[in-house]
Amino acid sequence: MNFETVKQNLISRGYTVSCFETATEAADYLDAAIDQKTVGMGGSVTLGQMNIYDLLSAHNQVYNHARPAEGQTPGDIFPLAAQAQIYLSSVNGLAETGEIVNIDGNCNRISAICFGHEKVYLVVGKNKLAPDYDAALWRARNIAAPKNAKRLNKNTPCAKEADRCYNCQSPERICRALSVFWEKPRACAFEIVLIDEELGY
């Protein structure tokens, strides 16, 4: 995939951008760039497929609520991840025009990517790209969220077929808040890591 358009639009909105052919190359890059830091992670299929937690845990203190240490609960991990020097996440939709869209249920991820770190890395497979903001929002609502609801075995109408959003009011609804970055948030450095492979939802 040619990332040139989205790369230039992200740079014009204040982000640093790096591009990789494969997830393995991107994982090696992150493993070299992040060393002796505290690192927070949100729930992310992309980062899981890249084995980022295990790679970084060998030489960083990584906080991931899906991997709590002995005696800790996910609730113990959320604030530690939110205060880490580095934070890693993927996105639910990336517009080629540069807007970044995320939907969250616990909202730990969308709050943590906004503020409070030295640097945030957003790791994005090519399947997350959409032509413009409306298409990125549609993708986040109708592709990413239903697939995540199905993966998490939620009792929601979208989880059966993961075919579309039904705008449910289920108690198990995973879509509870929307985050849109129009421009890079001011208070910390951001790097968008683009990967020419399909990763996550």
Minimum distance of ligand SF4 from residue 148's CB (angstroms): 8
Closer of 80 and 162 to ligand SF4 (Cβ):
162
115-174 residues in contact with ligand SF4 (CB under 6 A) are 145-146, 149, 156-158, 165-168, 170, 173-174
Minimum distance of ligand SF4 from residue 24's CB (angstroms): 31
Minimum distance of ligand SF4 from residue 28's CB (angstroms): 34
Radius of gyration for the chain, computed over Cα atoms and rounded to the nearest angstrom: 16
What is the distance, to the nearest Å, from the Cα of residue 120 to the centroid of all Cα atoms in its chain? 10
Minimum distance of ligand SF4 from residue 178's CB (angstroms): 11
3-state class percentages of the chain: helix first, strand second, coil last, to nearest 5 = 35, 25, 40
Q: How many residues bind ligand SF4 (CB under 6 A)?
A: 14
Minimum distance of ligand SF4 from residue 142's CB (angstroms): 7
How many CA atoms, within 13 angstroms, populate the side-chain half-sphere of residue 37?
A: 22
Sign of CA dihedral 70, 37, 23, 1: positive
Closer of 117 and 173 to ligand SF4 (Cβ):
173
Is residue 93 involved in binding ligand SF4 (CB under 6 A)? Answer: no
**Which residue(s) pair with 88 in the sheet?**
41, 121
Closer of 29 and 166 to ligand SF4 (Cβ):
166
Contact 40, 12 (CB under 8 A): no
How many CA atoms, within 13 angstroms, populate the side-chain half-sphere of residue 123?
A: 30
Sign of CA dihedral 185, 191, 98, 82: negative
Closer of 80 and 168 to ligand SF4 (Cβ):
168
Is residue 175 involved in binding ligand SF4 (CB under 6 A)? Answer: yes
Which residues neighbour 3 within 8 Å (Cβ) at sequence distance 6 or greater? 17, 19, 126, 194, 196
Closer of 65 and 141 to ligand SF4 (Cβ):
141
Minimum distance of ligand SF4 from residue 144's CB (angstroms): 9
Residues in contact with ligand SF4 by CB under 6 A are 145-146, 149, 156-158, 165-168, 170, 173-175
